[in-house]
């Protein structure tokens, strides 16, 4: 593996590099299997000795053996699993909002300023589990294509459409409801749910973009003494309640 190749892969460890090249890194056996069965484009797969057995046969022509030292340099994980792919970030399908009302579960999540990649990955995983149609991320939200977020999603990022929220979507969602998780909102089991978006802000800073939109505040009933739930847990509980209500 040449120095130039190493630098190109390492550039994808930064958000600016991923955005410039339209690519991201996928690491590990499980994520590789999920990637291989998805429609995502794959530019290259790098593996250390013995890890080629985890690469689907059809992808072997795109794979390259590298030394453990080279893998240490290109991996973003403390303990590299020895299997790393450079994949293409999918194009944005803005028609998803037009299709939302016709879905079996007509809801999508919006991560509004969430900074922790683990929380965002958890939301993507929960959206997949409960059948949410998509997940949007606002400008101030952590990058869903970071290695930490991809790992936290446990492969769900290859199944749930993840898109950037844009200002012009406000018009597209005029006939949809906006629900925002808030400590001062109505208890979620009192809500009459209809097709719409579930907005989830960060635990520390709350909602940002959602504040400029007409929305209904909803809250999760608290029986104990904790001050709050983190975004990943709160969003997952909301997904479960919505799925239960529409089952």
pLDDT at 247 over 70: no
Distance separating alpha carbons of residues 68 and 71, to the nearest angstrom: 5
Give the phi and the psi of residue 22 in degrees, each rounded to 5: 65, 30
Domain 3-88 has CATH 3.40.640.10: no
Q: How many CA atoms lie within 13 A of 234 on its CB side?
A: 27
* Average pLDDT of every residue of the chain: 91
SS3 32: helix
* Domain locations along the chain: 3-88, 96-246
- HSE, side-chain direction, 13 A CA sphere, residue 39: 5
Topology annotation, domain 96-246: Alpha/beta knot (3.40.1280)
Q: Is 180 exposed, middle or buried (0-12, 13-18, 19+ CB in 10 A)?
A: buried
Query: pLDDT digit string (tens) for 186-245?
Result: 888 888 889 999 999 877 676 777 777 788 899 888 889 888 888 999 999 999 999 998
**Taking a C-beta distance cutoff of 8 angstroms, is the pair 197, 173 a contact?**
yes
Provide the pLDDT for residue 184. 83
Asked if 210 and 113 touch (Cβ cutoff 8 Å), the reply is no
Q: Average pLDDT for residues 27-36, to the nearest whole number? A: 93
The 10s digit of each residue's pLDDT in 85-113 is: 999 999 988 788 888 888 889 999 999 99
131-177: pLDDT as tens digits: 999 999 999 999 999 999 999 999 999 999 999 998 888 888 888 89
Q: What is the pTM of this model?
A: 0.92
**Location of structure tokens 């406000």:** 170
Write out the H or E segment, with its range, that includes residue 74.
Answer: helix 68-74
Are both 3-88 and 96-246 of the same fold?
Answer: no
| pLDDT tens per residue across span 37-83 | 999 999 999 999 999 999 988 899 999 999 999 999 999 888 999 99
């Amino acid at each position: 593996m040449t120095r130039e190749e190493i630098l190109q892969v390492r550039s994808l460890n930064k958000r600016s590099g991923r955005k410039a090249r339209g690519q991201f890194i996928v690491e590990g056996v499980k994520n590789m299997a999920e990637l291989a069965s998805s429609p995502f484009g794959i530019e290259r797969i790098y593996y250390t000795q013995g890890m080629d057995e985890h690469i689907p046969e059809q992808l072997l022509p795109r794979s390259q053996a590298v030394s453990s030292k080279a893998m240490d340099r290109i991996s973003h994980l403390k303990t590299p699993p020895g299997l790393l792919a450079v994949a293409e970030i999918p194009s944005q399908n803005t028609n998803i909002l037009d299709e939302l009302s016709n879905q079996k579960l007509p809801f999508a999540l919006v991560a509004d300023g969430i900074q922790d990649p683990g929380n965002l990955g958890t939301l993507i995983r929960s959206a997949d589990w409960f059948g949410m149609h998509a997940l949007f991320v606002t400008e101030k939200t952590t990058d869903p294509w970071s290695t930490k977020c991809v790992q936290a999603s446990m492969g769900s990022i290859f199944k749930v459409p993840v898109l950037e929220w844009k200002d012009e979507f406000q018009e597209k969602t005029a006939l949809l409801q906006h629900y925002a998780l808030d400590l001062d909102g109505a208890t979620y089991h009192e809500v009459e749910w209809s097709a719409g978006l579930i907005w989830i802000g960060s635990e520390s800073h709350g909602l940002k973009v959602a504040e400029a939109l007409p929305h209904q505040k909803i809250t999760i009933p608290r029986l104990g003494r904790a001050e709050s739930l983190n975004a990943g847990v709160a969003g997952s509980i909301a997904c479960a309640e919505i799925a239960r209500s529409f089952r």
